[in-house]
Chain A
Amino acid sequence: MAEKQLVELEEVAIRFTGDSGDGMQVTGGKFSESTMLAGNDLSTLPDYPAEIRAPAGTLAGVSGFQIHFASRNVHTPADQPDVLVAFNPAALKTNIADLRPGGTLIVNQDAFKKRALARAEYEENPLPELHDRFNVVELPLTQLNRKALEDIDLGSRDIDRCKNFFVLGIMYWMYSRDLEPTQRWLRGRFRGEVREANLLALEAGHAYGETTELLPSSYQVPAAKIPPGTYRNITGNTAFAWGIVAAGVQMDRQVFLGAYPITPASDILHEVARYGHFGIKTMQAEDEIAACSAAIGAAFAGSLAVTCTSGPGLALKQEAINLAVMAELPLVIVDIQRGGPSTGMPTKVEQGDLPMALYGRNSDSPMPVIAASSPGDCFHTIFEAFRWAVKYMTPVIVLSDSYLANGTEPWLIPDIESLPRVSIPPPPEPENFQPYRRDAKTLARPWAVPGTPGLEHRIGGLSTEENTGNVSYDPDNNERMMHLRDQKVAGIVADIPPLEVVGNEQGELLIVGWGSTRGAITSAVEAARADGLDVSRVHLRHINPFPANLGEILGNFRHILVPEINLGHLPRLLRAEFLVPAEVMSKTQGKPFKVGEIRQRIDEILSPEDDS
């Protein structure tokens, strides 16, 4: 056996690709888990087809999972994988363009037969020609796996389904990973022969890596320096679900979640539905209108109410949300944005709903809008949304997107004690009770819940008289109430910490981002600054109201660039609000920004030619 070398690397990005039936999401998920346990910082991006069962082996059926890990901080799943694992020709065809030149391509040679090539619309085997550009490792994976499992009493189809664990075993060897966590998971997950088969495949793959001449080196990415504490892997949607649970616990109120299934928001409903023992009630309604309406009903009845959806669902909910604005009831609306317009690209990313969140209702309907910027951040963002909702008696929209919803990152599990305990004001005294008498400071009206003696009152969507809450068509009253609702939401600014500029406080270029673009912007700005460029960044969590110092910050820069996964929404707001020349950087391919794309734009703006 040839001597193998162990190479130390600072960072690696790997993309696993195969047919939807090849188990790429599990493979990527398990690899992430063991990477985290090895102490690397990481970021992942699952990418699956919109069709549930696209025909096997076709281009439409390709599923992928990218993971980027390093011994330093990682902000994105990486622009280009260093390693591409392709289980079939279709996976190769749809992904090879992304592989870094000179990168490693690992393919299942056995899958490159005539029929499979035809299904992937290849006229001839593309592998020979790729050796010039990449380090191509052709492995007879199907054969190797069958051989390793020959004593297992399963049909050949079941045996073949284990080959993703064979490959995972190889990758574990390549990146010096411990098999133990995955073995433990397999033991818990499967039974009988299937369990044995998968365990055996994993070990056989690992052993194969150790011995084969085809893989001369293995790699070690040292642990990253990350803040101390207990970590776990979390997706944005799970973080939302747990944030909802946490809000109920910390506010000591029953939670009610009304939802209608829609990609990519359904997982929040699925996850929250498991927590009946926290006193949480969930309802799968007949549509989004009903989901939102039921949630508002629950809020009226005293529950912490939440409804989650994606763009098409938000469009349906708007009339009900507007009622919550008018009735001044606490409600949290989660919108996991996806590619549009209309049904668009349901599993792909877009930040298309900001104008709809801000302005998608008839009349002036002011409502706080906040946006999560990483999977783990979803937890804290929704918690904050609940605090605002009950403190200010208002619906609050929380924006996320499919990239955050399904992406994972290591998450520092918050200390329960560090979470704010929110005490909801007790119901008002029946003496002189008025349903719309406002708190002098927050302008919130009291939350007077049915069942409380002496506080009987009526609310609704008709123009409401100040204090009494009675129906009123008085012109002056209507105008006063318009302003009061507006001031109430604007006043939330008091709860928003000043925005922090990363980089110089003033200078040539400021990049303004919101939501899931944070990782790519952070990496691009870090790299540009390391090269001595005068670029700073801010990232907005609070979009309505804006942080109080945003205008001042914007005024300190010559150029303002807003990378957004839409045709340019936030720049319009910034221009209108602050009269600054905010520039659009748009992308609408259903994919997140690459670091390189933003970096290139920075270079263009700051290049001397631009200055002349």
Chain B
Amino acid sequence: MATPAAQLTRKDFTSNQTVRWCPGCGDYSILANIQRIMPELGMSPEKVVFVSGIGCSSRFPYYMDTYGFHTIHGRAPAFATGIKASNPDLSVWVVTGDGDGLAIGGNHLLHIIRRNVDVNILLFNNRVYGLTKGQYSPTSRIGMKTKSTPLGSIDHPIDPLSFALGAAATFVARTVDVDAEHMRYVFRRAQEHRGTSFIEILQNCPVFNDEEWDELEDKKQRIDAGLRLQHGQPLVTGSEGRRRGIRIDSGVPAVIDLGDGSDISTADIAVHNEHHHSPAYAFALASMARPNFPLPLGVFRAVESPTYDGMLEQQMEQAMELRGAGNLRNLLHTGETWTVK
């Protein structure tokens, strides 16, 4: 007998498989917090499906005691779309990497987002190919030296959230692997959102790209390097005496020094609003990159829009209503027929 969801714990979502990431990998804490949030969200394991592509991050489903599908490189969004279309009652989570999701799978990621399939996508961004041992990825910084770019990468990187917003994502958020509480907050918000929830998780790969996110992972540095987004609150960050705010003018963000931060009203600081219908505001936030800007963390955008799976279900019902349940015999006999005696 299945245990009632209310009494489940993290253990009920933990499979018996040994976790095989490198020691110190950021993936561990993401896994732990997903396993923790599941019972908190009232999930039943049989209703949950984790779908992944290929990469270190994509091993994730093996460690969850839910349904899971470790598919092929880059295509997890397409598998997830089929699963959700087939059974919209399932809670579907896609786990992907910066290579899996934005290089080989960029096309599918674009399309699952624009269709607004009701799934949660977790993109583990370590800015490197972990599993294939350290080549640069589409999010790697220009100039990054790797085995495949000994002279430094000359590819302009893409920002995952800008990409998602470009596809009109209805829910976009960023969090970081070391901040358990913040991760769980974002996961909860994603699960509550109907439609595609896209989450970039800044993830450390200590083996091939260590300290990539140091200033955001380190508790002290992140006060200045990061910007916590809170709906209804002004875009203000920074430690004592180094308060800074963000003004957005003609869609372009600018950092305004606020000194001690006592007077933000005259500085025209933007107030965070997740529900702007236009993605332009969120896009302005997503364009805020280090080192010129504090990096926003939290929910950038959360707007309602019909979901693919919901509309598909609706169309079926309408077809059923309009034409009555299909009858095979009638179908085979439609149009001209003739009988030979």
A-side interface residues toward B, CB under 8 Å? 33, 36-37, 39, 181, 226-233, 242, 245-246, 249, 254, 256, 258, 275-279, 281, 283, 285-287, 289-291, 293-303, 305, 319-320, 323, 327, 413-414, 416, 450-462, 470-471
Q: A231-B337, A323-B72 are in contact. List 13 more A-B contacts (CB 8 A).
A: A33-B336, A37-B336, A228-B339, A229-B340, A256-B82, A281-B312, A294-B85, A297-B69, A303-B82, A320-B72, A450-B67, A458-B64, A460-B69
Q: Pick the residue among A33, A229, A279, A453 that contacts B316 (CB under 8 A).
A: A279
B90: chain A residues at CB < 8 Å are 301, 450-451
Given A286-B111, A450-B46, A471 and B62 touching (CB < 8 A)?
A: yes
Task: Check B86 against A297 for contact (C-beta < 8 Å).
Answer: yes
Q: Pick the residue among B61, B83, B331 that contacts A242 (CB under 8 A).
A: B331
Interface centre among A230, A254, A278 (most CB of B within 10 A): A278
B326: chain A residues at CB < 8 Å are 245, 249, 275, 277-279
In the complex formed, the residue of A with least CB distance to B13 is A456
Cα distance, A298 to B319, chains bound together (Å):
21
Task: Check B62 against A450 for contact (C-beta < 8 Å).
Answer: no
> Does B75 have its Cβ within 8 Å of any Cβ on chain A?
yes
B182–chain A nearest beta-carbon distance, Å:
28
A302: chain B residues at CB < 8 Å are 86-87
Task: Check A459 against B69 for contact (C-beta < 8 Å).
Answer: yes
In the complex formed, the residue of B with least CB distance to A274 is B319
> Does B305 have its Cβ within 8 Å of any Cβ on chain A?
no
Given A286-B107, A458-B15, A453 and B75 touching (CB < 8 A)?
A: no
B337: chain A residues at CB < 8 Å are 230-232, 413
Cα distance, A161 to B89, chains bound together (Å):
53
A460: chain B residues at CB < 8 Å are 61-62, 68-71
A457: chain B residues at CB < 8 Å are 67-68
Task: Check A470 against B17 for contact (C-beta < 8 Å).
Answer: yes
Please list 30 pairs of residues, one from A and one from B, whose beta carbons are closer than 8 Å in the complex, sorted by A's number: A37-B338, A39-B338, A228-B340, A230-B338, A231-B337, A231-B338, A232-B335, A233-B335, A242-B332, A249-B326, A254-B86, A256-B82, A258-B82, A275-B331, A276-B318, A283-B81, A283-B82, A286-B108, A286-B110, A289-B78, A293-B75, A296-B82, A297-B82, A300-B79, A303-B86, A451-B47, A456-B66, A457-B67, A459-B70, A461-B70
> Does B25 have its Cβ within 8 Å of any Cβ on chain A?
no
A454: chain B residues at CB < 8 Å are 2, 46
> Does B315 have its Cβ within 8 Å of any Cβ on chain A?
yes
Q: Pick the residue among A281, A290, A471 that contacts B75 (CB under 8 A).
A: A290
A291: chain B residues at CB < 8 Å are 78
Task: Check B86 against A230 for contact (C-beta < 8 Å).
Answer: no
Interface size class of B (residues with CB under 8 A): 35 or more
B54–chain A nearest beta-carbon distance, Å:
8
Task: Check B46 against A458 for contact (C-beta < 8 Å).
Answer: no
Task: Check B328 against A290 for contact (C-beta < 8 Å).
Answer: no
A131–chain B nearest beta-carbon distance, Å:
39
A37: chain B residues at CB < 8 Å are 336, 338
Interface centre among A33, A245, A454, A458 (most CB of B within 10 A): A458
> Does B195 have its Cβ within 8 Å of any Cβ on chain A?
no
Cα distance, A293 to B333, chains bound together (Å):
34
Task: Check A453 against B336 for contact (C-beta < 8 Å).
Answer: no
Q: Pick the residue among B85, B110, B322 that contacts A281 (CB under 8 A).
A: B85
Cα distance, A470 to B18, chains bound together (Å):
11
B67–chain A nearest beta-carbon distance, Å:
4
A242: chain B residues at CB < 8 Å are 331-332
Task: Check A276 against B315 for contact (C-beta < 8 Å).
Answer: yes
A229: chain B residues at CB < 8 Å are 339-340
In the complex formed, the residue of B with least CB distance to A319 is B72
Q: Pick the residue among B17, B62, B340 that contacts A231 (CB under 8 A).
A: B340
Residue interface mask B299-341, A partner, CB < 8 A = 1: 0000000000000100110111011111011011101111111
Q: Pick the residue among A249, A278, A290, A453 that contacts B108 (CB under 8 A).
A: A290
> Does B80 have its Cβ within 8 Å of any Cβ on chain A?
yes
In the complex formed, the residue of A with least CB distance to B12 is A456
B148–chain A nearest beta-carbon distance, Å:
22
Task: Check A450 against B61 for contact (C-beta < 8 Å).
Answer: no
Task: Check A416 against B82 for contact (C-beta < 8 Å).
Answer: no
B340: chain A residues at CB < 8 Å are 39, 226-231
In the complex formed, the residue of A with least CB distance to B320 is A277
B341: chain A residues at CB < 8 Å are 228
B66: chain A residues at CB < 8 Å are 456
> Does B196 have its Cβ within 8 Å of any Cβ on chain A?
no
Q: Pick the residue among A275, A283, A323 that contacts B71 (CB under 8 A).
A: A323
A535–chain B nearest beta-carbon distance, Å:
31
A319: chain B residues at CB < 8 Å are 72
B177–chain A nearest beta-carbon distance, Å:
23
Task: Check B111 against A232 for contact (C-beta < 8 Å).
Answer: no
Task: Check A256 against B72 for contact (C-beta < 8 Å).
Answer: no
B80: chain A residues at CB < 8 Å are 297
Cα distance, A300 to B92, chains bound together (Å):
13
Cα distance, A535 to B328, chains bound together (Å):
41
Cα distance, A424 to B339, chains bound together (Å):
34
B46: chain A residues at CB < 8 Å are 450-456
